[in-house]
Structure 1
Amino acid sequence: MTPKEIVNKMFQNDAFSQWLGITVENVSEGTCTLSMEIRKEMTNGFGIAHGGITYSLADSALAFAVNSHGRQSVSIDTSINHIETLKEGDKIVAVAKQDALKNKFGFYTIEIKREEKIVALFKGTVFRSDKEWGNN
């Protein structure tokens, strides 16, 4: 399967990413770009986006980027730094980049941006199983 076919298959079964309103902008081996818009129901009591929203967008970008290599993979350690606040109507983009890929583990950095400004930084470590996407 191609990276795009893998991500399309994953996305079709990913009700949460669909609920977020994520659009897959680009995918290739080891990288993925996603976008979405902050909606009112995604804001907290301060009127800003809940931290879980940028986290979830980045987590989806991580999943799509690592699985694009063709092996079924899951996150085992993630963290995020929230740098700027986001409000309803803000359009954000997450770009997942592969830092290192080993046989069983992958290491990724995801930048979340509003226009050209970084609003959050996410780092993820993933476990790469031996199960291939085309064999299920």
Structure 2
Amino acid sequence: MNKQKLAENVVDKMMADDAFSQWLGIEVIEIKPGYAKLEMKVRQEMTNGFNVCHGGVTFSLADSALAFASNSYGRVAVAMENNISFMKKVLPNDTLTAETEELSLGRRIGVYNISIKNQKNEQVALFRGTVFRTQEYHFKEDN
């Protein structure tokens, strides 16, 4: 299986089993090995007491992008450490796009930046994630 098809198959499998990303309404826009671009619309039930998007929702979108990008090579990768900086408030009905940048990929560790922008192309958050790449594979034929 070529690398692009593997990346697509892995993300299709992960998304099918990911009830939380489905609940968030995440749509996969683009997948390539080491790269994911996701989109979601902020719903009213995703807001906090200030009527802005709960930070955990934005974090979760970025976390899903990290998971899809880092697993796209076929090896199971799990988060070790994540952090996020919020730069601009997110409101109900905003459409968020999370786009990954693979900074480092080693045998055991991967590091990614995920930029989250709104529908006006304004950066609302920056997420950094580090993953541990296990020796497990998503599909038997990958190893």
TM bin (shorter chain): over 0.9
Q: Determine the structure 1 residue equivalent to 2:115.
A: 111
Q: Does 1:8 align with 2:12?
A: yes
Instruction: Provide the aligned C-alpha RMSD in A.
Output: 1.0
Equivalent-residue separation in structure 2 for 1:10 and 1:97 (angstroms)? 20
Q: Which aligned runs of 4 or more in structure 1 are off by greater than 3 angstroms?
A: none
Q: Does 1:68 align with 2:72?
A: yes
Residue correspondences, number: 136
Equivalent-residue separation in structure 1 for 2:72 and 2:55 (angstroms)? 26
Equivalent-residue separation in structure 1 for 2:138 and 2:11 (angstroms)? 10
Q: Gapped runs of 5+ residues in structure 1? A: none
Shift of 1:132: 1.5
Sequence identity percentage: 45
String of CA shifts for 1:82-123, please: whole Å, max 9, x gaps.
100011100010001100001000000000001311000000
Q: Gapped runs of 5+ residues in structure 2? A: none
TM-score (norm 2): 0.93
Instruction: Map 1:13-24; keep pairs closer than 5 Å.
Output: 13-24=17-28
